[in-house]
Amino acid sequence: MPPRLAVLALALVACDPAPTRDAGVPPPRPDGSVDAAGLDGGDGGDGDGGHSDAGPEAGVDGAVPSTCGASAGAPSWVVALAPHRVLAAGTTRRVEVTALADGVTRLRYLPIADDVEVPDRSFALVTPASELAVADTVAVGADDAGETLVVCTDRATVRVRRVGGRVTVTDAAGRVLVEDTDEAVGASAVARATPTSEPFYGLGEKTGGLDRRGRRWTFWNTDAYDPAFGGYRPDQDPLYASIPFFVALREGVAYGVFTDVAYRLTIDLAAATPEVYRVESEGPAIDQYVILGPRMQDVLRTYTGLTGRAPIPPRWALGFHQCRWGYSPDARVEAVGAEFRRRDIPADALWLDIQHMDGFRSFTFDPVAFPDPNGLAARLEGQGFRVITIEDPGIKVDPGWSVYDRALASGAFLADARGTPYEGVAWPGPSSFLDFTSPDARALWAGEVAALAARGVDGVWLDVNEPTVFPESGGMAEIPNDLVAAGDGVPTTMAEARNVYALHEARATFEGLRAARPSERPFVLTRAGYAGIQRYAAMWTGDAPSTWASLRQTPAMLMGLGLSGVPFVGSDIGGYSGHASPELFARWMEVGALSPFARAHVTNGVPDQEPWAFGQEVEDISRHRLRERYRMLPYLYALFAEAAATGAPVLRPLVWEFPEDAALAR
């Protein structure tokens, strides 16, 4: 890490006169990004990946550079939609090519029939695709006797064959980075050549090793809990979040591909065929952004310029968090806090799981176990603790309860085609679910979050937001795909909205906390998400079982999320299922203390999992490791400042710094 960042972190800490509040930090934008200008003196801190403010028509040059190897003028089967955007009608699909700034090419694979409507929208991008800055120089030509479209910029050359609508993308050095094969036809699938030596990183929250090559991955937000494992299996897929973005290294040169498709998606990285990767969507089209490097740092900067960057967290959120399902009543929560202070183990936050609620209704407190939430929060704050509560998206069907009544009256629930609100079984029993793709539903939720903050709650934990319904709901215990969602003005169904459900819920939560405490940085933790979730929330790896196999793959899972643009990540220290051995907890604490987000958490009905619950030796190890973490906070803070400015991960694999070392690539 550059020394200037360490110095910067110390300066930032020194400049904050109130350790428990976060004054003097540029406020987040409405999309959740933070203006990080001045944090490192570099560019890219404005949340737009360094793009210019030029409009779509800026800087277009009709001359064909000599490197294109093409004649001037588009082929007859190509329509110019704008100087930087063309639509090619191949024999099996149409391909729309858009030349964007910063070495980005947008490729839309569309149905051959032009009467099939495919909305041009994204749930992930900070800026609508139509408003993204374009390449300074764009030229369109033809090759192969008019059978190949050629689109050139100073960074890339895109060639589209009429037969099959096959695409090739090369960089300025002539390296082929994208090469469609004829193994996939139509608009919902692409197949591409990949050298056997090419590793793939990212793809969000995935099990296994750092290199994703050799497996077929599914993107469909899923409650992955398997009772036989007390969590998810070591090789389980899919998990809770869907981030269909990868970074690849081809001959030491990095490039990225973001498949901006919210429908159920699969990406086969040379599992079925050793030298081919495939992308297949259950939606009508595939929308991709090919991002040139040449370094991994360049790819992440540009990708997070498109999807947003994580704001710097509140400093207290970088401390240690203690949680469990079962902290009830309030006296037990206070006793846990007092024990941390008595034993001199550093910690900054205590968490309340669903047992704090009144009948599992979100935004409520059990009147017997938690009769005075404001008083509890004040007493814990006096001990130096913040309070975070869990909130679930299933709203209890309970006429007379104000939250349910207002949501029902405003049409804020997911409903069938007739407008009847869906009811499924969740923790409160029969429940309806807010449609977070509706601004009205987000406003209602944000208002409840703001009211929660007024009761002393400092952060919000979003769980079961894949969203999850229980088996009693029938079928495969998933919300039906045919439910209608508002789609932010372009109606759709849950077949498309499921993967982005948690993204919009996190946005509403972030906005509610910011409205309640505008001078503070919001803290949100989410289990599920989609590309862009980093703008609003931290993530943890869900119900990781308390096993050595689970601990072993945790670092790779966290680094994979970081290489997917999500830097604020952690795991349940000790594992979720409980009954961890003393050594397993101690080793997990060693990993957790060096993770960007450090929280111990465990399920209900199992032995205690606080650091002192495993004997004196483990308590001493935990105290030592956590004290080390607190001594490193200036360094950690600086890494988060860098992440906010550039999109770089906080927890980084060695290949990030040494991509030329083949031994580190896998």
Strands 286-292 and 253-259: antiparallel
* Amino acid found at 17: P
* Vertex 99: Cα angle to 98 and 104 (nearest 5): 105
Specify whether the CB–CB gap between 432 and 497 falls below 8 A. no
Tell me how far apart the alpha carbons of residues 543 and 576 are, in angstroms, rounded to a whole number.
Answer: 5
CA 244 to chain centre: 10
Starting at the earlier edge strand, list the strands of the sheet with 538-540.
569-570, 538-540, 524-526, 459-462, 386-391, 349-352, 320-322, 598-600, 572-573
Task: Describe the crossing of helices 633-646 and 616-631 by its angle, rounded to 10 degrees.
Answer: 50
Residues belonging to the active site: 463, 466, 543
End-to-end CA distance of the chain: 23
* Vertex 242: Cα angle to 236 and 248 (nearest 5): 90
Tell me how far apart the alpha carbons of residues 378 and 36 are, in angstroms, rounded to a whole number.
Answer: 32
Tell me how far apart the alpha carbons of residues 149 and 151 are, in angstroms, rounded to a whole number.
Answer: 7
Strands 189-193 and 276-281: antiparallel
Specify whether the CB–CB gap between 435 and 501 falls below 8 A. no
Strands 216-219 and 245-250: unpaired
Nearest to 141 by CA among 212, 206, 61: 61
Starting at the earlier edge strand, list the strands of the sheet with 394-396.
394-396, 429-433, 424-426
Helices of type H across 53-182 = none
Tell me how far apart the alpha carbons of residues 367 and 536 are, in angstroms, rounded to a whole number.
Answer: 31
Give the pair of three-digit tokens for residue 10.
């110390």
Residue 439 φ then ψ, to 5°: -55, -35
Give the pair of three-digit tokens for residue 8.
């910067």
